[in-house]
Structure 1
Amino acid sequence: MTLQPSAADQIRQHLARVSELRQQARSAGLERAVNDVKQLQAQRFRATYTDFLQHRMYAPATRFFLDELYGVHDFAQRDAQFARIAGAVERLFPEAVAQLAVNLAETHALTELLDHQLAMHWLAQDPRLEPALRYTRSWRLVGDREARARQLAVVQGMGLELQRLTRMKPLRLALRMMRNPARAAGLDALQHFLESGFDAFASLGEARTFLDTIHERESQWIQTLFDATEADCRNALAAELARAPTGA
């Protein structure tokens, strides 16, 4: 019988994969292409969720997803801190918190892998191509619909679990009390991430409508990017990118 890896081991494995992909991108001269892909995706997300970003209740959770999960940021410091305390997360927190951390690490690794693959195809194409067409072709060359579905499913589960945990007042209080010790231990980036997530989902109210809408919209985009004609997909993506608010 094969034993399931511990939460700490799973976290470390996922973050090691992220680090490996970053090193590969540097070695292969892919860093700019990865950044271009992430920038385009962030622009599309801002357009798709403009209404949520302007919604008093939904805006914090939307920004948490866009900034902390899919943002165009260097997460190396947060990842290093996360890996350092993976064992402590498993030992000191409830099982649900440890599983949330595993889901976060898996989402991070899967997103980085898919962006890396997209970037390889993006870089191989004529840079004079319109970004929407270049992205459409790169997406289809990567393929892997199953990985896209998994990415969306893990994010959904993570959102539901975050809301459930925010209702545990002792856990939220304990997190606030960790601020100074976390800063002293050099874990400030991870502390910021955890507090941002808890604050965002605490203000959300009922998360189901929010998460169901994300699932519906992202599923539609996945279907379009895989199944629509190239021209229709390019037109839909170009129109969506043009809708993105500036300065968001």
Structure 2
Amino acid sequence: MTTMDAAQTIRDRIADVTALRHQRTADPGLGSGVGRVKTLQARRFRGTYADLMGSPSFGPAAKFFLEELYSDSDYAARDQQFGRIAGTLQTMFPAAVVATAVALAVLHAQTEELDQAMGHHWTGSVASPAAAVAEPGIARQDAADAARYVAAWRAVGQRAQRELQLQRVLAMGTDLARLTRTPGLRMMLRMMRAPAHAAGMGALQQFLEAGFDTFGQLARQRGGVEQFLATIEAREHALMAALFDADRVTCETQLARTLGQAR
């Protein structure tokens, strides 16, 4: 991908995200629905990876994924920076870093599109919390949220897009680990901290430094990156299979139990 293509891709994807955000602003009900979906997904991630989050070896990487890829945070400020400085990325960062920034913008836009589709169905549906009947020990609110989430997921569908989203998440981890093997890059990032902030690239700089340090630490453990990403891939595939194909009550019960583990 040429520098011009990279810059335009970032601008286009950020424009897509901004348009979705404007739709949510114009429709408070949709905005609330998307917010509920994002909050539930972040809780689900914490529940699914509670063991990794508490691990000295994998905890930092799991926390990075939660905060940067599975979070319910508002990334509006980061998006504005990305869109504004897309054309000057190549003057401050190596090609491999620019490629990672492009991949992040593409993943972000895809995630927002899927979350918005989920938000539409969340707002317009009230699912019966079958999991509360199947397993009384589950909190009723977790059961109700799980039921609505499963209903929205199945209404949206898009299995191929969900698979692509997961592959992009895994590729992001692989790319960050690869960057840690670039000679002198960590020193370069440290030296660029002040110029990057002055140029309005603080959010990208923070993402790169956090990703570099997190996956650098993981890469120093023999097979650490591969084990971490394999765990993410296996668990996310299992979750997707349940959300698409499992008996509804079984799926809702499993999801509600996972939400409870994040309390």
TM-score, structure 2 as length reference: 0.87
Matches within 5 A, 1:129-144: 130-144=144-158
Which amino acid is 1:37 matched to?
A: V
Q: CA RMSD in A?
A: 1.8
Q: Is the 8 A contact 1:34 1:115 kept in 2?
A: yes
CA distance in structure 1 between the aligned counterparts of 2:93 and 2:3, rounded to whole angstroms: 19
Corresponding position of 2:111: 111
Q: Is the 8 A contact 1:8 1:86 kept in 2?
A: yes
Give the CA deviation at 1:93. Answer: 3.2
Give the CA deviation at 1:22. Answer: 0.5
Matches within 5 A, 1:15-164: 15-29=14-28, 30-126=30-126, 130-164=144-178
Ranges in structure 1 where 5+ consecutive residues have no aligned partner: none
CA distance in structure 1 between the aligned counterparts of 2:197 and 2:172, rounded to whole angstroms: 25
Of 180, 185, 210, the match for 2:194: 180
Give the CA deviation at 1:4. Answer: 11
Give the CA deviation at 1:167. Answer: 1.8
Q: What is the DSSP-based 3-state SS (H/G/I as helix, E as strand, rest coil) of the residue aligned with 1:125?
A: coil
Give the CA deviation at 1:9. Answer: 1.0
Which amino acid is 1:109 matched to?
A: A
Corresponding position of 1:237: 255
CA distance in structure 2 between the aligned counterparts of 1:90 and 1:212, rounded to whole angstroms: 32
CA distance in structure 2 between the aligned counterparts of 1:95 and 1:195, rounded to whole angstroms: 16
Which amino acid is 1:28 matched to?
A: D
Deviation string for 1:39-74 (max 9, x for gaps)?
100111001111111111211111111001121111
Does 37-46 or 98-107 show the bigger shift? 98-107
CA distance in structure 1 between the aligned counterparts of 2:198 and 2:93, rounded to whole angstroms: 20
Does 202-211 or 91-100 show the bigger shift? 91-100
CA distance in structure 2 between the aligned counterparts of 1:68 and 1:4, rounded to whole angstroms: 25
Q: What is the DSSP-based 3-state SS (H/G/I as helix, E as strand, rest coil) of the residue aligned with 2:174?
A: helix
Give the CA deviation at 1:23. Answer: 0.5
Q: Is the 8 A contact 2:121 2:152 kept in 1?
A: yes
Of 214, 227, 236, the match for 1:209: 227
Corresponding position of 2:7: 8
Q: Is the 8 A contact 2:69 2:169 kept in 1?
A: no
Give the CA deviation at 1:182. Answer: 2.3
Give the CA deviation at 1:5. Answer: 7.1
Q: Is the 8 A contact 1:7 1:90 kept in 2?
A: no
Q: Is the 8 A contact 1:117 1:142 kept in 2?
A: yes
CA distance in structure 2 between the aligned counterparts of 1:225 and 1:55, rounded to whole angstroms: 27
CA distance in structure 2 between the aligned counterparts of 1:128 and 1:167, rounded to whole angstroms: 50
Q: Is the 8 A contact 2:39 2:72 kept in 1?
A: yes
CA distance in structure 1 between the aligned counterparts of 2:235 and 2:128, rounded to whole angstroms: 29
1:199 aligns with 2:213: yes
Ranges in structure 2 where 5+ consecutive residues have no aligned partner: 130-143
CA distance in structure 2 between the aligned counterparts of 1:159 and 1:101, rounded to whole angstroms: 13
CA distance in structure 2 between the aligned counterparts of 1:90 and 1:128, rounded to whole angstroms: 52
